[in-house]
């Protein structure tokens, strides 16, 4: 009886994770490859992430509206620990911020500043405050650059 229950639980959990995997695994892998700059590490992380997600599935609502944002947020948190442990330093970060292939084309539409702001925030979770002090610019201008980057990328996607 217990074995049967185990199979049902495992089956249901596996089914839910499969749904998220089918829809978002490619997107997540693309994102993680850019952060880690290492395909093998990214694939290992992907397996690890979805296995762990099965244990936390009930802690989140998966209503479909912001599934990707939620999944990406969880992945970003876990990725930081996966790559750098609990103490991350700037030196730990993979070098080479150059994008590859289709992603190059996508980010090429942005100016240097927009690309820099977007990549630092999107891939490396840098705060607006930190970027503003690093680039010696106001927080408003950093937010503006980020907004413009989004607008250009949205426009690019529509074309």
Partner 1 sequence: MVKINEYIESGILEAYVLGSASKAEAEELLYMKAKHPQVLEALLELEMDLEHIAQRMAIIPPVGTWEKIEAGINEVVKAKNSDALTLDMPFEDRGGRTKSRKSSQFIEVEAESGHMRIRKIWRWIFAGVFLLGKIFLACAIYFYLENRHNEKELEQLKNELKIHSPR
Interface ranges with partner 1 (CB under 8 A):
2, 5-6, 9-10, 13-14, 17-18, 21, 25-31, 33-34, 43, 46-48, 50-52, 54-55, 65-66, 68-69, 72-73, 76, 102-103, 106, 121-122, 125-129, 140, 142-147, 150, 153-154, 157
Alpha-carbon distance of 153 to 123, in angstroms, equals 16
Cβ of residue 87: shortest distance to partner 1, in angstroms?
20
How would DSSP label each residue in 5-69?
HHHHHHHHHHHHHHHHHHHHHHHHHHHHHHHHS-HHHHHHHHHHHHHHHHHHGGGS---SSSHHH
Instruction: Name the residue nearer to partner 1 (CB basis): 6 or 92.
Output: 6
Q: Are 149 and 115 in contact (CB under 8 A)?
A: yes
Question: CB of residue 16 vs partner 1: minimum separation in angstroms?
Answer: 10
Minimum distance of partner 1 from residue 83's CB (angstroms): 16
């Amino acid at each position: 009886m217990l074995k049967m229950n185990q199979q049902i639980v495992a089956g249901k959990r596996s089914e839910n994770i499969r749904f998220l995997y089918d829809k978002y695994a490619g997107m997540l892998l693309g994102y993680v490859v850019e952060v880690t700059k290492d395909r093998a590490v990214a694939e290992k992380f992907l397996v690890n992430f979805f296995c762990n997600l099965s244990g936390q599935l009930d802690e989140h609502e998966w209503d479909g509206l912001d599934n990707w944002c939620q999944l990406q947020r969880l992945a970003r948190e876990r990725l930081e620990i996966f790559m750098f442990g609990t103490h991350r330093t700037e030196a730990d970060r993979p070098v080479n911020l150059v994008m590859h292939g289709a992603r190059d084309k996508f980010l090429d539409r942005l100016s240097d500043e927009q690309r820099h702001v977007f990549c630092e925030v999107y891939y490396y979770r840098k705060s607006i405050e930190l970027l503003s002090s690093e680039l010696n610019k106001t927080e408003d201008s950093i937010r503006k650059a980020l907004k413009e980057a989004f607008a250009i990328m949205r426009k690019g996607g529509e074309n």
